[in-house]
Amino acid sequence: MCFVKMLYKSSMRPLKMVMAKLLTVLLLIEVFAHGFRYGADGLTMNYYLMSCPFVEPVVKNIVNRALQDDPTLAAGLIRMHFHDCFIEGCDGSVLIDSTKDNTAEKDSPGNLSLRGFEVIDDIKEELERQCPGVVSCADILAMAARDAVFFAGGPVYDIPKGRKDGRRSKIEDTINLPFPTFNASELIRSFGQRGFSAQEMVALSGAHTLGVARCASFKNRLDQVDPTLDAQFAKTLSRTCSSGDNAQQPFDATSNDFDNVYFNALLRKNGVLTSDQTLYTSPKTRNFVTAYAFNQAMFFFDFQQAMVKMGLLEVKDNSNGDVRDNCRKIN
Q: What are phi and psi of 314, to 5 degrees?
A: 45, 50
Burial class (CB in 10 A: 0-12, 13-18, 19+), 149: buried
**Does 174 belong to an annotated binding site?**
no
Long-range contact list for 253-257, CB < 8 A, 24+ apart? 254/209, 255/72, 255/75, 255/209, 255/210, 255/211, 255/212, 256/71, 256/72, 256/74, 256/152, 256/210, 257/152, 257/153, 257/209, 257/210
Any binding-site annotation on 209? Answer: yes
Q: Do 96 and 329 form a contact (C-beta atoms < 8 A)?
A: yes
The response to whether 208 counts as a known ligand-binding position is: yes
Query: Which of 298, 217, 212 has the alpha carbon at shortest distance from 256?
Result: 212
- Residue 93 marked as a ligand binder: yes
* Active-site residue, 83 included: yes
Phi, psi of 212, rounded to the nearest 5 degrees:
-135, 165
> Residue 124: what residue type?
K
Asked if residue 178 belongs to a known ligand binding site, the reply is yes
Q: Is 200 annotated as a binding residue?
A: no
Q: Are 188 and 279 in contact (CB under 8 A)?
A: no
Residue 50 CA, distance from chain mean position: 25
The catalytic residue among 79, 83, 164, 214 is: 83
**162 annotated as a binding-site residue:** no
Residue 257 marked ligand-binding: no
Is residue 312 a contact partner of residue 162, using CB atoms and an 8 Å limit? Answer: no
Question: How many Cα neighbours within 13 Å face the side chain of 103?
Answer: 9
Contact between 241 and 228 under an 8 Å Cβ cutoff? The reply is no
- Asked whether residue 89 is marked as a ligand-binding residue, the answer is yes
Helix (H) or strand (E) holding 248: strand 248-250
CB 274 within 8 A of CB 220: yes
Angstrom CA distances, 256 to 8, 76, 145, 153, 154, stand at 67, 11, 14, 9, 11
Query: Does 314 belong to an annotated binding site?
Result: no
* C-alpha to C-alpha distance for 46 and 37, rounded to whole angstroms: 9
Q: Which residues are annotated as a binding site for heme b?
A: 208
Q: Which residues are annotated as a binding site for Ca(2+)?
A: 84, 89, 91, 93, 105, 209, 252, 259
Q: Which residues are annotated as a binding site?
A: 84, 89, 91, 93, 105, 178, 208-209, 252, 259
Q: Which residues are annotated as a binding site for substrate?
A: 178
List active site positions: 83
